[in-house]
Structure 1
Amino acid sequence: MTSDDRGSSSVSMDEEPRSSHSRDEPLSAAKGRSKRKQLPLWQETILLLGVALVLAIVIKTFFVQAFYIPSESMEPGLILNDRILIQKVSYWGDGEPQRGDVVVFKDPGGWLPPIDSAGPTNPVAQVMAKVGLYPTGGHLVKRVIGVAGDTIECCDDQGRLVVNGQPLDEAAYVKRGGAKCNGPMPTNGACNEDWEVGPIPDGHIFVMGDNRSRSADSSQKMCQPDETECVPGDEFVPVDLVVGKVFVLLWPADRFRWNTRPATFEDVPDPSSS
Structure 2
Amino acid sequence: MADTKQRKARRPWWVEIPVMTALGLAAALVIKTCLFQVFSIPSGSMENTLQVGDRVAVDKFTPLFGWEPKAGDKVVFHDPGGWLPPEPAKGAVAGAVGSTLSFVGLMPPAGDEYLVKRVIATGGHTVACHGTTLTVDGRTVSEPYLHPGDDSCSGLDFGPVAVPAGYVWVEGDHRSDSADSRYHRDDPAGGAVPVADVVGPVSAVIWPLNHIGTA
Which category describes the TM-score, using the shorter chain as reference length? Answer: 0.7 to 0.9
Conserved? CA contact 1:176–1:213, under 8 Å:
no
Q: Which residue of 1 aligns with 2:46?
A: 74
Residue 210 of structure 1, aligned match among 153, 173, 177:
173
Residue 251 of structure 1, aligned match among 200, 207, 213:
207
Q: Any idea what SS the aligned residue of 1:197 has?
A: strand
Cα offset for 1:39?
3.0
Alpha-carbon separation, structure 2, partners of 1:119 and 1:176 = 36
Report the structure, 1 or 2, having the larger strand content: 2
Q: Any idea what SS the aligned residue of 1:112 has?
A: coil
Q: Which residue of 2 aligns with 1:101?
A: 73
Alpha-carbon separation, structure 1, partners of 2:36 and 2:187 = 34
* 1:140 is aligned to 2:90: no
Residue 92 of structure 1, aligned match among 64, 80, 84:
64
Alpha-carbon separation, structure 2, partners of 1:150 and 1:50 = 48
Q: Which residue of 2 aligns with 1:154?
A: 129
1:197 maps to amino acid:
V
1:198-257 superposed Cα distances (whole Å, 9 cap, x missing partner)? 1x22221110011111111111111xxxxxxx3441411111111121111222222222
1:166-220 superposed Cα distances (whole Å, 9 cap, x missing partner)? 21110x211275x6x4135xxxxx23x442111x222211100111111111111
Q: Which residue of 1 aligns with 2:160?
A: 196
What residue ranges of structure 2 are gaps of 5+ in the alignment? none
Residue 169 of structure 1, aligned match among 136, 142, 152:
142
Conserved? CA contact 1:103–1:141, under 8 Å:
yes
Cα offset for 1:36?
9.3
**More relative contact order, 1 or 2 (CA 8 Å, 6+ apart):** 2
Conserved? CA contact 1:63–1:89, under 8 Å:
yes
Cα offset for 1:48?
1.6
Give the fraction of aligned pairs with identical amino acids, expressed as a percent.
Answer: 38
Conserved? CA contact 1:91–1:97, under 8 Å:
no
Cα offset for 1:119?
8.1
Cα offset for 1:37?
5.5
Conserved? CA contact 1:83–1:250, under 8 Å:
yes
What residue ranges of structure 1 are gaps of 5+ in the alignment? 1-26, 185-189, 223-229, 260-274
Conserved? CA contact 1:119–1:138, under 8 Å:
no
2:115 maps to amino acid:
L
CA distance 1:241–1:41, change in 2 (3 Å): same
- Structure 1 length as normaliser, TM-score? 0.68
CA distance 1:119–1:165, change in 2 (3 Å): farther
Q: Any idea what SS the aligned residue of 1:161 has?
A: strand
Conserved? CA contact 1:149–1:202, under 8 Å:
yes
* 1:39 is aligned to 2:39: no
1:104 maps to amino acid:
V
CA distance 1:80–1:119, change in 2 (3 Å): farther
Conserved? CA contact 1:160–1:167, under 8 Å:
yes
Alpha-carbon RMSD across the aligned residues, in angstroms, is 2.6
Cα offset for 1:111?
0.5
2:198 maps to amino acid:
V
* 1:237 is aligned to 2:205: no
1:141 maps to amino acid:
V
